[in-house]
Structure 1
Amino acid sequence: MKRTSQLLGAVSAFALIGLSTPAMAEGTQAGQTITNTVTVNYNVGGVAQTAETASDTFTVDRRVNFTVVETGNGATSVSPGSSESYVTFEVTNLSNAALDFSLDVAQDGADDFNIRQPGTLNDGFQLYLDNPLAGTVGEFDAADTLITFLDEIPEDETVTVFVVGDIPGGTVTGNTANVTLTGTAAEAGTTGVLGADVVANTGDADDPNAVDTVFADTGNDGIESDTDTFVVSAAALTVSKTSRVISDPVSGVTNPKAIPGAVVEYCINVENGAGSATATGIQVTDVLVANLTFDNTFGVFVDATADVNNVCSGGTDSGTYTAGTRTVAGTLSDIAAGGSQAFYFRAIIDGDVTFTTP
């Protein structure tokens, strides 16, 4: 430290008065100079003498400290084949100077699947910086910025980084992929350019006229990381289709047989396995084969119930039939784990006999 002093004369009484106190808090900016001046007042023969002073000046060094933290405190649920799935991290610069941060993303070798770069079949990720002023803050959306590193992050500032990728199709419930984001402290100073990795002055004596660097992060190495996990939650749908004869032109509704002119009801039951993800956007299509004619006097029922004998009932007549393609279609409501929805309609076996269905 730089010191100045003046010789003191004979002292009968003196007082040491500190006019300023060193500010060593983390928030004191690196490079700032701190000068403390001490004043000694004294008397000689009961007469006050001119005070003597001494000063000390030094430069505040740089304390590099930051965190990389996964947010959410749990695994991130994804669906097979989902695009632009993401995990979220917060990077906080706790240093007393602005910093750049290089970013690296890696998966564990033991993962069940590899994340793919969005829109491609190549393994990898994309990084996005959350926009705190537009879009939905804290959620990945179109307002966020594609990045490769963090640029000019001021002291005491927290930014949100999204690691984004596509989930391969064919993954099943319970498959996992661990994603680790690693940040490395780098020199700031030029906007848009990643600086060199920060180097600590380890083992060097303090230079009072220069800014020395000390790593104060968890590993004391200027490198921090955290891990989040993609876990696949897939719907496990099973579909059953059964038919029953409703009536025939000979016996009516009494023990009817599947003869020409008979009315047949098809019941399609869709079930979702226990512990699975909710199935949404469920579209059912059934193309009538030759020798069947759609019974347009009955309708197409969705969100119905199938009993243990696969007999459908209830529901809403909101399905459609397209004659040109002979297609019966309808949309089922979402099916949660362990739930089911049914779909049913009727058709007539082609023949020469005309019979009015009940």
Structure 2
Amino acid sequence: MTSKLIYWGTIGLAATSIVVAGPAHAAGTTAGASITNTATVNYQVGGVAQNSQTASDTFVVDRVVNLTVIDLDGATTSVVPGQTAAVTTFRLTNTSNETLDFALAATQPTGGAGAHSGPADNFDVAAVPIYRDTNGNNTYDAGTDTLVTYADELAADASVVLFVVADIPAGRANNDRAVVQLRATAREGGAAGSLGATITQTTGANTAVKDTVFADTAGVNDGARDGAYSAADDYTVQSATLAITKSSRVISDPVNATTNPKLIPGAVVEYCIAVANSGSVAATSVAITDPVPSQLTFLGTGQTYSLSNGPIALNGTVSGGTCNTDGTAGGSIAGSTVSGTLATVAAGATRTLVFRATVN
């Protein structure tokens, strides 16, 4: 047994160097293999060569269990409120010296720092199923990639890409963040298509059979040398944050015309509905409706004091808190309700709908 102890000591040192100094690789000779070497002694008696004497030693290579899980995205995954099938991507690599199964678990921590720079975790996604990259293109393909709870029969040095696919709750605010963690735990035995049994590390002295040594380092939610490894990724909500402001100003009245006009019957009132986006992405298809009160009459095309660019102006701007009449003609009125759609309100921009009416 002495030779086995010496040999394993050498392998253990090499494996430690790999973990610390460079990329992970399988720990050499396959676990369970028998290694035999034979020494030969030749000698003479009275100058006459005698039959050679030999002695052999055989030992079994022990098993080192090691693995890595890494986040392949390299940055947070940007999502919008209500998005379905938002994907984070991981790679599991078996750096053991034996083919193993790996039980998989996707979890969500409560609070704490994000997996990438930026805000901390403050919400949970609706679900965290795990899919295996079936066609090897490193991209999640709904209906093609396979829903899994374990990685089956992963050979030494082999890798598999895994996707955590989540639904983002509606109503989340800009820069909200959800962290997801993927953990893989080594399992042994079991036929293809079934998850193997829990692996136990060998305790005590070296034995004559295949022993097991855990060599994994600590992940985000597991410890060192526990036969498991975990990594984290996160989702960050990128949303439009809209603030709606409605204002009015008197343009003219029948007595004062445009000089210090007052809100008397017959006066022309200009309404402005301003939509400001303080979020990080554009808002699109922003539909505005505004019922005109019965005390007012909408000023249509060709009527005095209607806007020069049409009875309803869309996509105008705001300067110093005052709406400009620089929009383009658009929108409609049905009955007494004015409506119009702003195609896009960019992040940091303000766009308007403007119309005029007379006081009855």
TM-score of the aligned structures, taking structure 2 as reference length: 0.71
Aligned to 1:8: none
Give the structure 2 partner of residue 333 of structure 1.
Answer: 344
Question: By how many angstroms is 1:57 displaced?
Answer: 3.5
**Correspondence 1:287 to 2:290:** yes
Contact persistence 2:96–2:157 (CA under 8 A): yes
> Shift of residue 141 of structure 1?
4.8
Distance 1:343 1:173, change over 3 A: closer
Q: Which residue is 1:147 aligned to?
A: 148
Greater gyration radius: 1
Whichever residue aligns with residue 30 of structure 1, its letter is A
Residue 267 to residue 222, structure 1, CA distance change in 2 (3 Å): same
1:62 equivalenced with 2:71 (yes/no): no
Q: Please tell me whether the aligned partners of residues 63 and 96 of structure 2 are also in contact (alpha carbons under 8 angstroms).
A: yes
Residues 2-60 of structure 1, C-alpha deviations (whole Å, 9 max, x = no match): 99xxxxxxxxxxxxxxxxxx999724322333333445566778887766554444333
Q: Measure the CA separation in 1 of the matches of 2:54 and 2:211.
A: 28
Deviations 1:101-125, CA, capped at 9 Å, x for gaps: 112233334466552434xxxxxx2
1:308-323 maps to which residues of 2 (within 5 A)?
308-317=320-329, 319-321=330-332, 323=334
Change (3 A) 1:280 1:53: farther
Partner of 1:211: 210
Confirm or deny that 1:133 pairs with 2:136. yes
Letter in structure 1 aligned against 2:152: D
Structure 2: how far apart are the matches of 1:235 and 1:197?
48
> 1:241 aligned to 246, 267, 288, which one?
246
**RMSD between aligned residues:** 3.7
Q: Give the CA deviation at 1:146.
A: 1.8
Structure 1 distance, partners of 2:164, 2:328, is 43
Q: Does 1:270 align with 2:275?
A: yes
Range that drifts further, 212-221 or 248-257:
248-257
Hey, what's the Cα distance between the residues in 2 that align with 1:246 and 1:263? 5
Q: Pick one of 115, 124, 133 that aligns with 2:124.
A: 115
- Deviations along 1:226-279, one digit per CA (max 9) or x if unpaired, are 333444455432111222344556665555555566554332222233xx4224
- Give how far 1:132 is off: 4.4
Give the secondary structure class of the aligned counterpart of 2:68.
Answer: strand
**Contact 1:115–1:165 at 8 Å: present in 2 too?**
no
For 1:141 and 1:166, locate their aligned partners in 2 and report how far apart those are by CA, in whole Å.
14
CA displacement, residues 270-299 of structure 1 (integer Å, 9 cap, x when unaligned): 2233xx422422413123324433634605
Q: 1:270 to 1:32 in 2, by over 3 A?
A: same
Q: Name the aligned partner's letter for residue 316 of structure 2.
A: A
- TM-score using structure 1 length: 0.72
Task: Tell me the distance in 2 between the aligned counterparts of 1:193 and 1:70.
Answer: 26
SS at match of 2:197: coil
The alignment covers a number of residue pairs equal to 318
2-structure distance, mates of 1:240, 1:282: 18
Residue 183 of structure 1 aligns with which residue?
184
The aligned residue for residue 355 of structure 2 is: 346
* % identical aligned pairs: 41
1:180 CA drift (Å) = 2.8
Give, in angstroms, the shift of residue 328 of structure 1: 1.3
Distance 1:28 1:75, change over 3 A: same
Distance 1:206 1:241, change over 3 A: same
Identify unmatched segments of 5+ residues in structure 1.
4-21, 119-124, 352-358
Amino acid at match of 2:346: I
CA contact (8 A) 2:39 2:54 kept: yes
Q: 1:30 to 1:152 in 2, by over 3 A?
A: same
Assess, with a 3 A threshold, how the Cα gap between structure 1 residues 203 and 309 changes in structure 2: closer, same or farther. closer
SS at match of 1:240: strand
Partners of 2:158 and 2:64 in 1: CA distance: 15
